[in-house]
Amino acid sequence: MIDIGLIRNNPELVKENIRKKFQDKKLVLVDEVLELDAKRRALQAETDNIRASRNTLSKQIGALLKAGKKEEAEAIKAQVSANNGRLTQIEKELEEVSQEQKKRMMSIPNIISPDTPIGKDDSENVERQRFLEPAEKPFEVPYHLDILEKLDGIDIDSARRVSGQGFYYLTGDIARLHSAVLTYARDFMIDKGFTYVIPPYMIRSDVVTGVMSFEEMDNMMYKIEGEDLYLIGTSEHSMIGRFKDTIVDGAKLPVTLTSYSPCFRKERGAHGIEERGIYRIHQFEKQEMIVICKPEESEEWFEKLYNYTVELFVSMQVPVRTLECCSGDLADLKYRSLDVEAWSPRQKKYFEVGSCSNLTDAQARRLDIRYKDGKQNKFAHTLNNTVVAPPRMLIAILENHLNADGSVNIPPVLRPYMGGKEKILPKQK
């Protein structure tokens, strides 16, 4: 949520930021927030004045009664009673105005980074850097589902009968490779000094609205019927929610955490669930990294986080590149975002396998996450980044390490997690 002080002091900056994100329909929100803010402050001032007057009059009543001036005391009591009635009315109106103001503020996008390129959608994201040179395959690389089926590693048909479109069973060495990637990623981040956490997989609505915009919530989250609970779309949701309404000791910042979880997503408004394959699905698992830090440290941590993902992929001998997300591709709470994309030998192009985001204090304001800095309590900055999401990671490994005979080389760093196995072989006909 954006700072009300920024809207008051520099509304044109906020409006220009909205224009950069191509959300002109939200421009009216700035003026509405300012109008509601003026009304809220006027009501608050009236409330404070009535309370101060009530205290003064109450003291007068006591003095008049002691002096035997009962009639004058009763007159002042009547005035106090009238003030109390007005106070009740104002407090109700103040709550309504405050909620309306907050609702609009939560729809105004976070100020984006000066380094963010201006563009309408992901087609205008800007390539930043490449790592490892993609190797040309001397044979045609099949679609990843065909590779998986030849390795006897997937059962889509049964999953469709059991759960519907967008689900899968992984089996045998492919299931083992899936787990190996997650375990390796966990140990990789622990070696970087991050604390490993397994979070709750369901969160309450006030946490959902604290970690994402209303549009994202509607497009992504599965609601548990009859309960105030949602299935998480990523462990970032419950990991950041863990610090809701807390004041962290500034001396203990930054907090660096890596978390495992299954993830559940509607994928509404996305490119749709593929008929074949595991690129875009309703359920998957992921290793995530979370940082809570002081404002002056967040950009440094942003650079560190995405470079950890790059290092992880390079260690598995998968060529990757980084893309700076343009303004129109940024979710409303994001200050800056950078995608990591892996090379697809089949498609002869890169595809997204991770995303690193700096949200500055947008989530912290929504969830009231602060840190103690001397005698002051200040809003922290929050960042998140994908370490690895195995369904897409599996595609990257399968395509980049596929051999002409249909076998797949297991990257050396994963072999200890695969019992020393060096290859996954096709099933016997």
CATH classification at residue 15: 1.10.287.40
Verify that 98 and 142 share a domain, yes or no: no
117 lies in some domain:
no
Domain-located, residue 389: yes
Residues in CB range of 11: below 8 A, 6 or more apart:
30, 31, 34
In a shared domain, residues 245 and 171: yes
| pLDDT over threshold 60, residue 403 | yes
Res 420 pLDDT > 90 = yes
Statement to judge: residues 340 and 293 lie in one domain: yes
Q: Which of these ranges, 226-235, 264-273, 371-380, has the smallest mean pLDDT?
A: 264-273
pLDDT higher at 310 or 218: 310
Say whether both 163 and 55 belong to one domain.
no
- If asked whether residues 74 and 160 sit together in one domain, one would say no
User: Of 71, 105, 139, which closes a domain?
Assistant: 105
For Cα atoms 285, 288, 291, give the angle at the middle one, nearest 5 degrees: 160
Residue with tokens 């104002």, as numbered in its chain = 90
Let me know if residue 113 belongs to a domain.
no
**Residue 272 pLDDT:** 46
pLDDT level of residue 63 (50, 70, 90 thresholds): confident
Task: For residues 379-393, give the mean pLDDT.
Answer: 94
What confidence score (pLDDT) does residue 276 get? 62
Residues 217 and 76 in one domain: no
Q: Is residue 130 part of a domain?
A: yes
Indicate if 83 and 147 belong to the same structural domain.
no
| Count of alpha carbons within 13 angstroms of residue 138, beta-carbon side | 3
Instruction: Note whether 1 and 362 are within 8 A (CB).
Output: yes
Domain count, the chain: 2
Using CB atoms within 10 Å of the CB of residue 383, give its burial: 0 to 12 exposed, 13 to 18 middle, 19+ buried: buried
Separation of alpha carbons 13 and 17, rounded Å: 6
Pick from 127, 124, 114, 126: which is nearest to 328 by CA?
124
Return the bridge partners of 131, or none: 320
Residue 139 and residue 101 share a domain: no
Which of 105, 133, 164 represents a domain boundary (last residue)? 105
Smallest CA-to-CA distance from 392 within 272, 269, 235, 287 is with 287
**Residue 226: CATH number of its domain:** 3.30.930.10
- pLDDT greater at residue 280 or residue 411: 411
Any domain includes 289 = yes
**Token digits of residue 283:** 């359920």
- State the pLDDT at residue 273: 43
Residue 420 to residues 82, 180, 405, 413: CA-CA distances in angstroms?
A: 82, 11, 21, 10
On the CB side of 53, CA atoms within 13 Å amount to 16
Structural domain boundaries, residue 254: 122-424
pLDDT tens digits for 319-372? 999 999 999 999 999 999 999 999 999 999 999 999 999 999 999 999 999 999
Name the band, by pLDDT with cuts 50, 70 and 90, for residue 51.
confident
Q: Cα(145)–Cα(155) distance, rounded to whole angstroms?
A: 10
Question: Do 152 and 272 share a domain, yes or no?
Answer: yes
Beta bridge partners of 180: none
Q: Per-residue pLDDT tens for 91-117? A: 899 999 999 999 999 999 999 999 999
Tokens 């997937």 map to which residue? 154
The mean per-residue pLDDT over the stretch 271-289 comes to: 76
Each residue's pLDDT tens digit, 258-273: 999 999 998 754 454 4
Residues 55 and 174 in one domain: no
Task: Give the 3-state secondary structure of the chain.
Answer: CCCHHHHHHCHHHHHHHHHHCCCHHHHHHHHHHHHHHHHHHHHHHHHHHHHHHHHHHHHHHHHHHHCCCHHHHHHHHHHHHHHHHHHHHHHHHHHHHHHHHHHHHCCCCCCCCCCCCCCCCHHHCEEEEEECCCCCCCCCCCCHHHHHHHCCCEEHHHHHHHHCCCCCEECHHHHHHHHHHHHHHHHHHHHCCCEEECCCCEECHHHHHHHCCHHHHHHHCEECCCCCCEECCCHHHHHHHCCCCEEEEHHHCCEEEEEEEEEECCCCCCCCCCCCCCCCCCEEEEEEEEEEECHHHHHHHHHHHHHHHHHHHHHCCCCEEEEECCHHHCCCCCCEEEEEEEEECCCCEEEEEEEEEECCCHHHHHHCEEEEECCEEEECEEEEEEEECHHHHHHHHHHHCECCCCCEECCHHHHHHHCCCCEECCCCC
Taking residues 193-199, what's their average pLDDT? Answer: 98
Task: At 405, list the tokens.
Answer: 């005979």
| Phi then psi dihedrals of residue 155, to 5 deg | -135, 95
- Is residue 275 over pLDDT 60? no
Higher pLDDT, 8 or 218: 8
Confirm whether 412 is domain-assigned: yes
pLDDT band at 227 (very low <50, low <70, confident <90, very high): very high
Tell me what the pLDDT averaged over the chain comes to. 92
Mean pLDDT within 248-265: 96
Q: 57-66, 243-252, 343-352, 415-424: which has the minimum mean pLDDT?
A: 57-66
Tell me, yes or no, whether 345 and 197 share the same domain: yes
106-162 pLDDT, tens digit each: 999 999 999 999 999 999 999 999 999 998 899 999 999 999 999 999 999 999 999
Q: Is residue 115 part of a domain?
A: no
* Boundary (domain end) residue, out of 105, 138, 155: 105
pLDDT at 77: 77
Return the pLDDT at 80.
Answer: 75
- For residues 58 and 140, membership in a common domain is answered with no
Q: What percent of the chain has a predicted confidence (pLDDT) above 70?
A: 98
Task: Kindly state whether residue 114 falls inside one of the protein's structural domains.
Answer: no
pLDDT at 429: 65
Is residue 55 pLDDT above 80, yes or no? Answer: no
Strand 423-424, strand 408-409: pairing? antiparallel
Query: CA-to-CA distance for 164 and 61, rounded, in angstroms?
Result: 73
